Amino acid sequence: MPVFLDATSAGFEADFAAFLETKREISADVDATVADILETVRARGDAALVDYTNRFDRLSLSADGLEIGAEEIDAAIAKVPPADRAALELAADRIRAYHEKQRPEDARWEDAAGASIGWRWTAVQAAGLYVPGGLASYPSSVLMNAIPAKVAGVEELIVCVPTPKGAVNPLVLLAARIAGVDRVFRIGGAQAVAALAYGTETVPKVDKITGPGNAYVAAAKRRVFGHVGIDMIAGPSEILVIADAENDPDWIALDLLSQAEHDESAQSILITTDAEFGRAVAAAVEKRLKTLTRAAIAGPSWRDYGAVITVPDMATAIALSDRIAPEHLEICTSDADAVAARIRHAGAIFIGAWTPEAIGDYVGGPNHVLPTARSARFSSGLSVLDFMKRTTVARMSPDALAAIGPAAERLAICEDLEAHGLSVRARLDRLNRGRE
Amino acid sequence: MPVFLDATSAGFEADFAAFLETKREISADVDATVADILETVRARGDAALVDYTNRFDRLSLSADGLEIGAEEIDAAIAKVPPADRAALELAADRIRAYHEKQRPEDARWEDAAGASIGWRWTAVQAAGLYVPGGLASYPSSVLMNAIPAKVAGVEELIVCVPTPKGAVNPLVLLAARIAGVDRVFRIGGAQAVAALAYGTETVPKVDKITGPGNAYVAAAKRRVFGHVGIDMIAGPSEILVIADAENDPDWIALDLLSQAEHDESAQSILITTDAEFGRAVAAAVEKRLKTLTRAAIAGPSWRDYGAVITVPDMATAIALSDRIAPEHLEICTSDADAVAARIRHAGAIFIGAWTPEAIGDYVGGPNHVLPTARSARFSSGLSVLDFMKRTTVARMSPDALAAIGPAAERLAICEDLEAHGLSVRARLDRLNRGRE
Q: Which residues of chain A have pLDDT under 50?
A: none
**H/E segment holding residue B332:** strand B328-332
By the CB < 8 Å criterion, does B100 face chain A? Answer: no
388-427 of A, contacting B, C-beta below 8 A: 389-398, 400-401, 404-408, 410-412, 414-424, 426-427
Q: Answer yes or no: do A47 and A93 share one domain.
A: yes
Q: Which residues of A touch B344 (CB under 8 A)?
A: 122, 125
Range of the domain at A419: 396-435
Is B259 labeled as ligand-binding?
yes
Residues B385-417 as b or e (16 or more Cβ within 10 Å = b)? bbbbbbbbbbbbbbebbbbbbbbbbbbbbbbeb
Q: Test A343 with B391 for CB contact under 8 angstroms.
A: yes
| CATH at residue B193 | 3.40.50.1980
**Residue A402 and residue A431 in contact, taking contact as beta carbons nearer than 8 Å:** yes
Q: Which residues of B touch A411 (CB under 8 A)?
A: 84, 87-88, 91, 139-140, 361-363
Is B399 labeled as ligand-binding?
no
Q: Which residues of A touch B393 (CB under 8 A)?
A: 340, 348-349, 351, 366
Known catalytic residue: A327?
yes
Q: Answer yes or no: do B421 and B298 share one domain.
A: no
43-82 of A, contacting B, C-beta below 8 A: none
Exposed / middle / buried, residue B274 (Cβ in 10 Å: 0-12, 13-18, 19+): middle
A127 CB-side CA count, 13 A: 33
Q: Test B355 with A248 for CB contact under 8 angstroms.
A: no
Instruction: Classify residue A387: in a domain, yes or no.
Output: no
Q: Answer yes or no: do B322 and B406 share one domain.
A: no
Instruction: Classify residue A260: in a domain, yes or no.
Output: yes
* Count of other CB atoms within 10 angstroms of residue B259: 33
Residue B3 to residue B25: CA distance in whole angstroms? 18
Q: Test B292 with A225 for CB contact under 8 angstroms.
A: no
Q: Answer yes or no: do A248 and A208 share one domain.
A: no
Q: Secondary structure of B363-428 in the HEC alphabet?
A: CCCCCCCCCCCCHHHCCCCCCHHHHEEEEEEEECCHHHHHHHHHHHHHHHHHCCCHHHHHHHHHHH
* Count of other CB atoms within 10 angstroms of residue A32: 9
Is B130 labeled as ligand-binding?
yes
Q: Answer yes or no: do A45 and A178 share one domain.
A: yes
Q: Answer yes or no: do A348 and A372 share one domain.
A: yes
Q: Closest approach of chain B CAs to the CA of A91, in angstroms? A: 7
Q: Answer yes or no: do A70 and A173 share one domain.
A: yes
Q: Which residues of B touch A426 (CB under 8 A)?
A: 248, 250-251, 254
pLDDT in tens, B45-67: 999 999 999 999 999 999 999 99
Residue of B79, B205, B237, B415 to mutate, testing the A interface (most A Cβ within 10 Å of its Cβ): B415
By the CB < 8 Å criterion, does B138 face chain A? Answer: yes
Entry field: residues in chain A:
436
Catalytic residue among B238, B328, B330, B409: B328
Instruction: Classify residue A111: in a domain, yes or no.
Output: no
Q: Looking at residue A436, what is its pLDDT?
A: 64
319-378 of A, contacting B, C-beta below 8 A: 336-337, 340-341, 343-367, 371, 373, 375-378
Is B415 labeled as ligand-binding?
yes
Catalytic residue among A238, A264, A328, A368: A328
CB pairs under 8 A between A and B: 383
Instruction: Classify residue B378: in a domain, yes or no.
Output: no
Q: Which residues of A touch B426 (CB under 8 A)?
A: 248, 250-251, 254
Q: Answer yes or no: do B7 and B56 share one domain.
A: no
Is B262 labeled as ligand-binding?
yes
Q: Looking at residue A425, what is its pLDDT?
A: 98
Q: Closest approach of chain A CAs to the CA of B411, in angstroms? A: 7
Q: Looking at residue B73, what is its pLDDT?
A: 97
Catalytic residue among B238, B261, B264, B327: B327
Instruction: Classify residue B289: in a domain, yes or no.
Output: yes
Instruction: Classify residue A3: in a domain, yes or no.
Output: no
By the CB < 8 Å criterion, does B257 face chain A? Answer: yes
Q: Which residues of A touch B363 (CB under 8 A)?
A: 404-405, 407-408, 411
Q: Closest approach of chain A CAs to the CA of B137, in angstroms? A: 8
Chain B's closest residue to A82, CA to CA, is B410
Q: Test A417 with B348 for CB contact under 8 angstroms.
A: no
**Residue B185 and residue B192 in contact, taking contact as beta carbons nearer than 8 Å:** yes
Q: Test B354 with A258 for CB contact under 8 angstroms.
A: no
Q: Answer yes or no: do A302 and A427 share one domain.
A: no
Q: Test A393 with B255 for CB contact under 8 angstroms.
A: no
Known catalytic residue: A261?
no
By the CB < 8 Å criterion, does A87 face chain B? Answer: yes
Q: Which of A199, A230, A261 is the last residue of a domain?
A: A230
Q: Looking at residue B215, what is its pLDDT?
A: 87
Q: Which residues of A touch B115 (CB under 8 A)?
A: 364-365
Q: Looking at residue B255, what is its pLDDT?
A: 98
Considering only the beta carbons, identify the residue of A233, A261, A346 that sits closest to B417: A261
Q: Looking at residue A435, what is its pLDDT?
A: 72
Q: Which residues of A touch B412 (CB under 8 A)?
A: 358, 361-362
Structural domains counted in chain B? 3
Q: Which residues of A touch B396 (CB under 8 A)?
A: 352, 354-355, 359, 364
Interface pTM, i.e. ipTM:
0.95
Partners of A393 in the β-ladder = A118, B349
Q: Secondary structure of chain A in the HEC alphabet?
A: CCEEEECCCCCHHHHHHHHHHCCCCCCCCCHHHHHHHHHHHHHHCHHHHHHHHHHHHCCCCCHHHCEECHHHHHHHHCCCCHHHHHHHHHHHHHHHHHHHCCCCCCEEEECCCCCEEEEEEEECCEEEEECCCHHHCCHHHHHHHHHHHHHHCCCEEEEECCCHHHCCCHHHHHHHHHHCCCEEECCCHHHHHHHHHHCCCCCCCCCEEECCCCHHHHHHHHHHECCEEECCCCCCCEEEEEECCCCCHHHHHHHHHHHHCCCCCCEEEEEECCHHHHHHHHHHHHHHHCCCCCHHHHHHHHHHHCEEEECCCHHHHHHHHHHHCCCEEEEECCCHHHHHHCCCCCCEEEECCCCCHHHHHHCCCCCCCCCCCCHHHCCCCCCHHHHEEEEEEEECCHHHHHHHHHHHHHHHHHCCCHHHHHHHHHHHHHHHHHHC
Chain B's closest residue to A374, CA to CA, is B227
Q: Which of A230, A263, A278 is the last residue of a domain?
A: A230
Residue of B25, B359, B409 to mutate, testing the A interface (most A Cβ within 10 Å of its Cβ): B359
Dihedral sign for Cα A299, A301, A305, A307, please.
negative
Q: Which of B230, B257, B274 is the last residue of a domain?
A: B230
By the CB < 8 Å criterion, does B212 face chain A? Answer: no
Instruction: Classify residue B259: in a domain, yes or no.
Output: yes
Q: Answer yes or no: do A221 and A261 share one domain.
A: no
Q: Answer yes or no: do B241 and B208 share one domain.
A: no
Instruction: Classify residue B21: in a domain, yes or no.
Output: yes
Mean pLDDT split into 10-residue runs, chain B, 436 residues:
93 93 75 94 97 95 96 96 98 98 97 96 98 84 97 98 92 97 97 98 97 90 91 86 98 98 94 97 98 97 96 97 97 97 98 98 96 94 98 98 98 96 98 82
Residue A230 to residue A222: CA distance in whole angstroms? 8
Q: How far is the CA of A92 from the CAs of A142, B398, B409, in angstroms?
A: 10, 21, 15
Q: Answer yes or no: do A307 and A423 share one domain.
A: no
> Annotated binding site for NAD(+): which residue ranges of A?
130, 191, 214
